[in-house]
Structure 1
Amino acid sequence: MSKFVHVVNFWLKKELDATGRAAFVKGVNSLGQIKNLAAFHVGEPAPTDRPVIDRSYDYALVCTFENQEDHDLYQTDPIHDAFRDNCAQYWDKVLIYDSIGIE
């Protein structure tokens, strides 16, 4: 079965101070505690500079799951709910890209 990859890009509020930014980082990193994750990564835009690269976001979250069922469990996990409830105040925009592997 093909892996399921969940990519989330966050654009934080421009007026967000260091305390708010730190709270967001702590919150997004808490998602790594959720069961059923095959891989977990939080990062900032890399210093690559090519015309096709969008570096306008502030943080990226990449979660890999063995299958869509594990992803669906992640979406309803209380840790995920707490992150969304507590940290949505920090961002202006979120874009999500979900994909499954092709064989």
Structure 2
Amino acid sequence: MTTTRRDFITTAAITGAALVAGDALAKPVAGDNAMPKLLHHVFFWLKNPESKEDLEKLIAGVKSLAAIETVRSIHVGVPASTEKREVVDNSYHVSELLGFDDVAGQDAYQIHPLHKKFVDEHQHLWSKVVVYDALAV
């Protein structure tokens, strides 16, 4: 069986593509899809939980925090209607999960004018706030 130059180039290209694809699947994805190093998870309980207006104001305020330069990712949510289990606390009304590159980024966020403005303009809406900060290991 003779192999033509065209057959050789085609086989080499397919093999190269397969190796690159396999290599990409074997390594963690870098860049925009990488998990931030520090996660800042905040849970809010509304003073007036029946107020749709208060809920909407708080959600809008939390979403405005995405404009802070050190915020790498943001997820704003409300309790999911998942299975009720003893270990699940869904008593909160709004949560925010912010991602940062490092502790310095989170520190800068805490003193940023937009964060301070958010607290000043929205703290009257909540009765309780709980924060969990986690650094990747």
Calculate the TM-score normalised by the size of structure 1.
Answer: 0.90
- Deviations along 1:59-94, whole A, 9 cap, x unmatched? 110001010000001111111000000000000000
Q: Helix, strand or coil: the match of 2:98?
A: strand
- Map of 1:71 onto structure 2: 106
**Residue in structure 1 matching 2:119, options 81, 84, 99:** 84
* RMSD, aligned α-carbons: 1.5
Q: How far is the alpha carbon of 1:52 from its aligned partner?
A: 0.9
Tell whether 2:77 aligns with 1:38. no
- CA distance 1:70–1:94, shift in 2 (3 Å): same
TM-score normalised to the size of structure 2? 0.69
Query: What are structure 2's unaligned runs of at least 5 residues?
Result: 1-35
Greater share of strand: 1
* Structure 2 Cα separation of the partners of residues 76 and 43 of structure 1: 24
Structure with more contact order per residue of length (Cα contacts < 8 Å, sep ≥ 6)? 1
Q: Equivalent residue for 1:12?
A: 46
CA distance in 1, matches of 2:136, 2:49: 38
> Partners in 1 of 2:51 and 2:95 — Cα distance?
19
Distance 2:124 2:50 in 1: 10
SS across alignment from 2:81: coil
Aligned match of 1:59 in 83, 94, 112? Answer: 94
Identity %: 36
Query: Which has more radius of gyration?
Result: 2
Q: Which amino acid aligns with 2:125?
A: Y
Give, in angstroms, the shift of residue 21 of structure 1: 2.4
